[in-house]
Amino acid sequence: MPKRLARILIPLAIATSLQPAAAQNEGATTLPQWFARPAATRGAPPVTDAPLSRAEAEAKLGEVFAALIAGSQQAGLDTLPPLLPNDLDKALLPSELHIGDFTMPFVLLTKGEKPASGWPLYLCLHGGGGNGDAKGPHEWDVNSREWQAQKTLWKRIYPAPGIYFIPRMADDRKGRWYLDHNQIAFEELITKCILFREVDPNRVYLMGISEGGYGAIRFAGNRPDRFAATGGMAAAEPLSTSPPENMRNVSMRIDIGEKDTMYDRVGLARRMGERLAELKREDPSGFDFEVCVQAGRGHGVDYSLSPQWLSTRVRNPHPDRVVWTVQKFDSRIALQNYWLALDAAPATMPLYLSASISKNRLVVTAEQDGGEGKPRQAVREGVVRIRLNDQLADLDAPITIVVNGAERTAVRVQRSLAVMARTMAERSDPNYCFCAEIVIELGAK
C-alpha cells in the first residue's frame, strides 16, 4: 500500500514558487488564485509544463495541496462550523448545507483525539426514507426521530477517534440518500473536511441504517474511490443498483437480521455476498467484504459491529487494478475513478472498464453489452485517461500498453506540474493528484 500522505504544514504564501519565471510578473495569476476561480472559468493552470524528476514531483505535491487550500480559503469555501468537542450543547446545534433548492441540516461532532495522520471522518445516514404526503422538506417525524437516533448512537457506540457528520434528510418528500443533491452535499462536506478540518482522505467512511444503509451500499457500488469502507445496517441492495464489481477496492460490510424479509432484504444481502465471494475467488487481491446475517434478528440489528469493522480499514487510492462499471448514479455520471478518467460520459452505458498496471505493463479493456444475450463487445471509440505517479509505475522507464487485447507501442511519460494542478483541481484530494497521464484513444490501432 502506498505511503499515506502526511499532514502538510506549508505556509500558504507559496504561489511564486509554483510559477514559471515569466508568470511571476505583476498581475500574473498565481496558483492559489487559479484554484479560487470557479472550475468553468479556470482555463489552463498558470504553471510550467516543463518535465519534473521524481524528487521534484514529490516535493511539489505538498505545495500544490497548500495552494488548493489557500485558493479555497480565498473563495470563501471554509463554511463548516468549528469543531467543539468540549461544548456538546453547542456542537449539537444543527448547521445547514445548501444545495440548490435543498437544505440539509446536520451536526458535525468529534470523538476522541485527532491522530497524527489526521481525523477519520464518518458520514452517518439515518433511516426512515420518503413520505410524499409530508407537508414540507423537514416535516416527517419519522426522519426527525431517526436523525436523533444517530446522535444517540454516536454518543453510545460509535468508535473514537473521529469526526462525525450526521445529516438530516434534505427533503422528506423525496427521501433517498443516493439522489443527486445528496451526492453533491456529501462531496462538498468531504472536500471541506479534507481541506479545512484536518481529515485523513484515506480514512473516510460511510455508514447508515435501513434507508441510510441502502445509501451506503449504493455509494460503495457507484462512488467507491472516495471511501475507505462503507457499512449498510438493516439494509441491502440489488446487484443492478450497486454493481459489486465496482467494490474491488473499497471495503464493504452488510449487517442484516435473518428475519428481515420485508422487501427481500435478507435475500438481497445474501445474493450480494454470494456475488462478492465469486468475484474474490476470481481476483483474491480485491474485494474486502463481510455480510453478517445476525441470528434471530429482524429489522433491528446490533449496530456496534459495522462501525468498529469500518474503523480498521484504510483506503488504498492507488490499487494495481480498477474495475469500473460506468453508469448513471441517479442522473450523475462520474468521470473519475481512482487513477482512471473519462473526458465525457460514454455514448452507450453501461461501459465496462478494467485497467491493471504491474511492472510498467498497463492493460486496459473497454466493453459494452452485445445485446440480445450476446457476449460483451470491445468499445472502439472514446478516450480513457490513465493517471500515473511513481507509486503505480516507474515513470522513468517505458510503459507497455495493451488495449482490448492488442499491444500498442510502448510510451514514455513526462511528469508535469500542469498535470498535478489539473488533477488536484478535479478531486481536491492530494492522493488523486497525479504527475503524469496517458491518453488512450480506444479506436486507435
pLDDT value at 16 more than 80: no
**pLDDT for the residue 74:** 97
pLDDT tier at 14, thresholds 50, 70, 90: very low
pLDDT tier at 8, thresholds 50, 70, 90: very low
> What pLDDT digit, counting tens, does each position of 217-266 carry?
999 999 999 999 999 999 999 999 999 999 999 999 999 999 999 999 99
pLDDT value at 1 more than 60: no
**pLDDT for the residue 6:** 36
pLDDT tier at 168, thresholds 50, 70, 90: very high
Q: Look at 93 and 209; give whichever has higher pLDDT.
A: 209
Average pLDDT on 185-195 reads 98
> What pLDDT digit, counting tens, does each position of 33-48 carry?
999 999 999 999 999 8
Q: Look at 22 and 209; give whichever has higher pLDDT.
A: 209
Average pLDDT on 139-149 reads 97
Average pLDDT on 135-154 reads 96
pLDDT value at 9 more than 50: no
Rounded to two decimals, the pTM is 0.93
Domains, the chain, in order of start with CATH, read: 15-74 (no CATH), 88-311 (3.40.50.1820), 321-441 (no CATH)
pLDDT value at 12 more than 50: no
Average pLDDT on 131-136 reads 94
pLDDT value at 216 more than 70: yes
Pick from 4-8, 174-178, 220-224: least confident: 4-8
**pLDDT for the residue 17:** 41
**pLDDT for the residue 10:** 32
Query: Can you give the three-state secondary structure of the chain, one letter per residue?
Result: CCCCCCCCCCCCCCHHHHCCHHHHCCCCCCHHHHHHCCHHHCCCCCCCCCEECHHHHHHHHHHHHHHHHHHHHHCCCCCCCCCCCCCHHHHCCCEEEEECCEEEEEEEEEECCCCCCCEEEEEEECCCCCCCCCCCCCCCHHHHHHHHHHHHHHHHCCCCCEEEEEECCCCCCCCCCCCHHHHHHHHHHHHHHHHHCCEEEEEEEEEEECHHHHHHHHHHHHCHHHCCEEEEECCCCCCCCCCHHHHCCCEEEEEEECCCCHHHHHHHHHHHHHHHHHHHHHCCCCCCEEEEEECCCCCCCCCCHHHHHHHCCCCCCCCCEEEEEECCECCECCCEECCEEECCCCCCCCEEEEEEEECCEEEEEEEECCCCCCCCEECCCCEEEEEECCCCCCCCCCEEEEECCEEEEEECCCEEHHHHHHHHHHHCCHHHCCCEEEEEECCCC
**pLDDT for the residue 27:** 58
Q: What is the mean pLDDT of the chain?
A: 93
pLDDT value at 444 more than 90: no
Average pLDDT on 17-26 reads 45
